Amino acid sequence: MVFFSNAIFLCKAQCSFNSEFPRKNFTACSNLPVLNSTLYWNYNISSGMVEIAFRQPGIDIFSTWISWGINPTSIGMIDAQAFVAYTRNDGNLIAYTSPISSYRTSLKEGALSFPVYDVSAMYENNSITIFATLQLPRETIMVDHVWQKGPMYGNNVPKIHSLLRHELRSYGTLNFLSGNVKQGSGGKLIVLKSFHGIMCGISWGIMLPVGVLISRYLKVFKTTDPIWFKLHVTCQSSGYIIGLIGWATGINLGAQLSGLRYKTHGCIGITLFCLATIQVIVGHLIRPKERKYRIIWNIFHFFVGYGTITLGIVNVFIGIQILEPEQRWKATYFGILVLLGCVTVLLETLSTFYLYYHEKNDSLDKMDRATPFNPS
């Protein structure tokens, strides 16, 4: 059978082209957009037969699996028809097929939805290469494909891959004739993670600190009564509701991706939500009027409130490291914190002078009232 592609010259320019595999020569290849992976292929458009070689460098032979697949029904990981390779504990390199139906997959072996032949793999120069021949419908020019790598359990079971930005964007479209590879945007998980990050950043990282500033400084100025309290309650309640939405999204993400947990981020998030819930209940529903109980309530409200703010800001920065957004987002949030810090310094200065001025006037008034009037 004669295989051909009109992408030979383009692909030679796109990747480090090497047609001298031990068993096959390939006429086309492309560097994939992320993970430093390379795909080689021969394609016969009239028969739909494709020979592929998927190479993943930088592999620790006993602790990493690799995979490449085609998704014939949708975009992304779910429903992908994949080829998997890794080295077993006994030192044998194995390659097999695995249909993927869930984010929780352990890449169990199974038949694909299209015929495949000659599935094998080789390890060389810290790289694993998967070889396979697959039968696609005739005149299939473009396919949705995915590729990935991840760690291994000690009992020869692939673990879930990392959920950093590049790992969530290792999918896209492949044109067998032009060699054009278009990268995916990240799909549902990227959307959920971004939504979770934005909601929690606005809530725990911005609105709750602003609510504390309102309570601490605006109430000093008597002319703001009772406006400051209404603003404080509105800001904190809105921040809590937004944070609840972000927290629920995070729980949903954790349920979908049970094989991988960001333990520090998750534990802080749960603690943060519990503290905020207690603060809402105690702060707004159980506020005593008796002075002896009010002192205890003030101490509790103070420490729980500032503890919540501190944990919130810390967890926002941890979340930024996990999500790996563009640098401008990290710089924007850091700039917001600097602005809040500057506002805090300004309000602290103004409130100090305001209290000093009024205490001085109050003292003078008391002295005037204590001095008897002597018209002589």
Q: Using H for helix, E for strand and C for coil, what is the string for 228-270?
A: HHHHHHHHHHHHHHHHHHHHHHHHHHHHHCCCCCCHHHHHHHH
In the block, tokens 């990935």 appear at 148
Q: Which residues face 49 on adjacent strands? A: 44, 135
What kind of fold does domain 188-365 have according to CATH?
A: Four Helix Bundle (Hemerythrin (Met), subunit A) (1.20.120)
pLDDT beneath 70: ranges in the chain: 1-23, 163-166, 183-190, 222-225, 255-261, 283-285, 324-326, 358-376
CATH no. of 8-183: 2.60.40.1210
In the block, tokens 């809040």 appear at 340
Q: pLDDT, tens digit, for every residue of 141-200?
A: 888 899 999 888 777 888 877 766 667 778 888 888 877 777 665 556 667 778 888 899
CA distances from 290 to 225, 285, 293, 294, 295 (A): 21, 15, 6, 6, 9
In the block, tokens 């696609």 appear at 136
- Known binding residue 232? Answer is yes
Q: pLDDT, tens digit, for every residue of 336-373?
A: 889 988 988 988 888 888 777 766 555 545 444 444 44
CA distances from 94 to 70, 82, 131, 156 (A): 20, 14, 11, 11
The gap from C-alpha 7 to its chain's centroid, in whole angstroms, comes to 36
- Known binding residue 196? Answer is yes
The gap from C-alpha 137 to its chain's centroid, in whole angstroms, comes to 37
User: What was the pLDDT predicted at 281?
Assistant: 82
The gap from C-alpha 24 to its chain's centroid, in whole angstroms, comes to 40
User: What was the pLDDT predicted at 362?
Assistant: 54
- Known binding residue 161? Answer is no
| R_g of the chain, CA atoms, integer Å | 31
Q: Where in the chain is the domain with CATH 2.60.40.1210?
A: 8-183
User: What was the pLDDT predicted at 21?
Assistant: 63
Q: Where in the chain is the domain with CATH 1.20.120.1770?
A: 188-365
> pTM for the full model?
0.57
Give the SS3 label for residue 139: coil
Query: Per residue in 94-128, is it b (16+ CB within 10 Å) or e — as a string?
Result: ebbbbbbeebebebeeeebeeebeebbbbeeeebb
